Amino acid sequence: MYSLRRFASKHSKAYEVVYKFVEPPILASLTWLNKVAGDRFDKPITWMEKHTKGALFDCQMCGNCVLSKTGMTCPMNCPKTIRNGPCGGVRANGNCEVKPEMKCVWVEAWGGASKMRNPQEIELVQFAVDRSHQGSSAWIRLAKERDKEKQDRKQAAIAEDVS
Protein backbone atom coordinates (compact mmCIF):
# COMPACT_ATOMS: atom_id res chain seq x y z
CA MET A 1 0.00 0.00 0.00
CA TYR A 2 2.89 2.31 0.83
CA SER A 3 4.30 1.92 -2.68
CA LEU A 4 0.89 2.56 -4.29
CA ARG A 5 0.50 5.65 -2.16
CA ARG A 6 3.92 6.94 -3.23
CA PHE A 7 3.05 6.13 -6.83
CA ALA A 8 -0.03 8.38 -6.50
CA SER A 9 2.06 11.31 -5.23
CA LYS A 10 4.61 10.82 -7.99
CA HIS A 11 1.95 10.63 -10.69
CA SER A 12 -0.36 13.20 -9.18
CA LYS A 13 -0.99 14.81 -12.56
CA ALA A 14 -2.35 11.61 -14.11
CA TYR A 15 -4.44 10.96 -10.99
CA GLU A 16 -5.78 14.49 -11.21
CA VAL A 17 -6.93 13.93 -14.79
CA VAL A 18 -8.65 10.67 -13.81
CA TYR A 19 -10.18 12.38 -10.77
CA LYS A 20 -11.56 15.25 -12.86
CA PHE A 21 -13.02 12.66 -15.23
CA VAL A 22 -14.67 10.34 -12.71
CA GLU A 23 -15.72 12.86 -10.06
CA PRO A 24 -18.81 14.30 -11.84
CA PRO A 25 -20.43 10.90 -12.68
CA ILE A 26 -19.71 9.57 -9.17
CA LEU A 27 -21.20 12.64 -7.52
CA ALA A 28 -24.17 12.66 -9.93
CA SER A 29 -24.96 9.00 -9.22
CA LEU A 30 -24.63 9.56 -5.49
CA THR A 31 -26.96 12.55 -5.64
CA TRP A 32 -29.48 10.55 -7.65
CA LEU A 33 -29.16 7.55 -5.34
CA ASN A 34 -29.68 9.74 -2.33
CA LYS A 35 -32.85 11.16 -3.86
CA VAL A 36 -34.43 7.82 -4.75
CA ALA A 37 -33.15 5.65 -1.91
CA GLY A 38 -32.22 8.03 0.93
CA ASP A 39 -29.36 6.80 3.03
CA ARG A 40 -30.09 3.09 2.41
CA PHE A 41 -26.90 2.65 0.35
CA ASP A 42 -24.62 4.78 2.53
CA LYS A 43 -23.00 1.73 4.13
CA PRO A 44 -21.99 -0.06 0.92
CA ILE A 45 -20.86 3.22 -0.65
CA THR A 46 -18.73 3.99 2.39
CA TRP A 47 -17.31 0.45 2.20
CA MET A 48 -16.46 0.96 -1.45
CA GLU A 49 -14.85 4.35 -0.82
CA LYS A 50 -12.85 2.95 2.06
CA HIS A 51 -11.42 0.12 0.00
CA THR A 52 -10.79 2.04 -3.23
CA LYS A 53 -9.14 5.02 -1.58
CA GLY A 54 -7.54 2.76 0.99
CA ALA A 55 -5.79 0.77 -1.72
CA LEU A 56 -4.79 3.77 -3.80
CA PHE A 57 -3.88 6.36 -1.18
CA ASP A 58 -3.77 4.58 2.21
CA CYS A 59 -6.91 6.61 2.95
CA GLN A 60 -7.71 6.73 6.66
CA MET A 61 -11.40 7.64 6.14
CA CYS A 62 -11.19 10.93 8.06
CA GLY A 63 -14.29 12.00 6.13
CA ASN A 64 -12.73 15.40 5.30
CA CYS A 65 -10.99 14.48 2.04
CA VAL A 66 -8.41 16.96 0.70
CA LEU A 67 -6.50 14.62 -1.64
CA SER A 68 -6.92 16.87 -4.66
CA LYS A 69 -5.43 19.80 -2.71
CA THR A 70 -2.48 17.92 -1.24
CA GLY A 71 -0.80 16.51 -4.32
CA MET A 72 -2.90 13.31 -4.20
CA THR A 73 -1.23 12.48 -0.87
CA CYS A 74 -3.39 11.65 2.15
CA PRO A 75 -2.22 13.88 5.04
CA MET A 76 -3.78 11.53 7.58
CA ASN A 77 -0.81 9.22 7.06
CA CYS A 78 1.39 11.83 8.73
CA PRO A 79 1.98 10.50 12.28
CA LYS A 80 0.96 13.93 13.57
CA THR A 81 -2.02 14.11 11.16
CA ILE A 82 -0.90 17.61 10.20
CA ARG A 83 -3.19 19.29 7.67
CA ASN A 84 -0.76 22.11 6.83
CA GLY A 85 2.55 20.35 6.80
CA PRO A 86 5.32 19.51 6.89
CA CYS A 87 6.49 19.98 10.45
CA GLY A 88 9.99 21.14 11.26
CA GLY A 89 11.28 17.68 12.04
CA VAL A 90 11.76 16.37 8.50
CA ARG A 91 15.06 14.51 8.15
CA ALA A 92 17.75 15.70 5.76
CA ASN A 93 16.87 12.83 3.40
CA GLY A 94 13.24 13.93 3.36
CA ASN A 95 12.05 11.14 5.62
CA CYS A 96 9.69 11.35 8.57
CA GLU A 97 10.89 12.33 12.04
CA VAL A 98 8.65 9.78 13.72
CA LYS A 99 8.94 6.92 11.20
CA PRO A 100 12.49 7.20 9.81
CA GLU A 101 11.85 4.53 7.17
CA MET A 102 8.92 6.47 5.67
CA LYS A 103 9.16 9.41 3.27
CA CYS A 104 7.61 12.50 4.89
CA VAL A 105 3.98 12.60 3.76
CA TRP A 106 4.18 16.35 3.27
CA VAL A 107 7.40 16.26 1.28
CA GLU A 108 5.50 13.92 -1.05
CA ALA A 109 2.47 16.21 -0.95
CA TRP A 110 4.39 19.36 -1.97
CA GLY A 111 6.14 17.34 -4.66
CA GLY A 112 2.83 15.97 -5.93
CA ALA A 113 1.12 19.36 -5.81
CA SER A 114 3.85 21.00 -7.89
CA LYS A 115 2.98 18.70 -10.80
CA MET A 116 -0.74 19.41 -10.70
CA ARG A 117 -2.78 21.91 -12.64
CA ASN A 118 -3.43 24.08 -9.60
CA PRO A 119 -0.19 23.79 -7.65
CA GLN A 120 -1.26 26.62 -5.37
CA GLU A 121 -4.13 24.64 -3.86
CA ILE A 122 -1.74 23.19 -1.28
CA GLU A 123 -0.97 26.72 -0.11
CA LEU A 124 -4.51 27.23 1.16
CA VAL A 125 -4.94 27.08 4.92
CA GLN A 126 -6.79 23.90 5.89
CA PHE A 127 -8.46 23.96 9.27
CA ALA A 128 -8.18 20.86 11.46
CA VAL A 129 -10.40 17.91 10.55
CA ASP A 130 -13.86 17.52 11.99
CA ARG A 131 -13.23 14.34 13.97
CA SER A 132 -16.94 13.53 14.11
CA HIS A 133 -16.71 12.63 10.41
CA GLN A 134 -14.16 9.87 11.06
CA GLY A 135 -15.17 6.69 9.23
CA SER A 136 -17.87 8.34 7.14
CA SER A 137 -17.92 8.83 3.38
CA ALA A 138 -16.43 12.05 2.05
CA TRP A 139 -18.03 11.28 -1.34
CA ILE A 140 -21.57 11.25 0.08
CA ARG A 141 -20.90 14.42 2.05
CA LEU A 142 -19.54 16.17 -1.02
CA ALA A 143 -22.47 15.02 -3.16
CA LYS A 144 -24.93 16.33 -0.57
CA GLU A 145 -23.08 19.64 -0.23
CA ARG A 146 -22.91 20.16 -3.99
CA ASP A 147 -26.60 19.30 -4.32
CA LYS A 148 -27.52 21.70 -1.56
CA GLU A 149 -25.49 24.46 -3.20
CA LYS A 150 -27.29 23.76 -6.47
CA GLN A 151 -30.70 23.86 -4.78
CA ASP A 152 -29.78 27.08 -2.98
CA ARG A 153 -28.71 28.65 -6.26
CA LYS A 154 -31.99 27.57 -7.84
CA GLN A 155 -34.00 29.04 -4.97
CA ALA A 156 -32.05 32.27 -5.21
CA ALA A 157 -32.67 32.45 -8.98
CA ILE A 158 -36.40 31.86 -8.47
CA ALA A 159 -36.51 34.50 -5.75
CA GLU A 160 -34.76 36.93 -8.09
CA ASP A 161 -37.22 36.18 -10.91
CA VAL A 162 -40.18 36.75 -8.64
CA SER A 163 -38.89 40.08 -7.44
Partner 1 sequence: MNKPIDNHDNEHHPYVDNPGSPLPPKEGHVSQGRFERVLRDGHFAVTSEIAPPDSVDADEVYRRAALFDGAVDAINATDGSGANCHMSSVAVCALLSHIGYSPILQISCRDKNRIAIQGDILGAAAMGVCNVLALTGDDVSSGDHPEAKPVFDLDSVSLLTTIKTMREESRFLSGRKLDLAPKVFAGSSINPFVPPIESRVLQLRKKVEAGAEFIQSQYCFDMDILKSMMKRAVDMGLTEKAFILPGVGTLASAKTAKWLRSNVPGVHIPDSIVKRLEGAEKQKAEGQKICVELMQQVKEIEGVSGVHVMAYRQEEFVTEMVDASGVLDGRKAWAPTGWVDTART
Which residues are at the interface with partner 1 (CB under 8 A)?
Answer: 79-94, 97-98, 104, 106-107, 110-111, 123, 125-128, 131
Q: Min. distance of Cβ 56 from partner 1 in angstroms?
A: 23
The span from the CA of 150 to the CA of 161, in Å, is 17
User: CB-wise, 33 or 82, nearer to partner 1?
Assistant: 82
User: CB-wise, 113 or 138, nearer to partner 1?
Assistant: 113
Q: Min. distance of Cβ 40 from partner 1 in angstroms?
A: 32
Q: Min. distance of Cβ 31 from partner 1 in angstroms?
A: 29
User: CB-wise, 42 or 79, nearer to partner 1?
Assistant: 79
CA dihedral 20, 22, 28, 30 (to 10 degrees): -120
Q: What is the DSSP string of 75-142?
A: GGGSTT--SS---TT--TTSB-SSSTTSBPHHHHHHHHHHTSS-GGGGGS--PPP-GGGTTS-HHHHH
User: CB-wise, 24 or 89, nearer to partner 1?
Assistant: 89
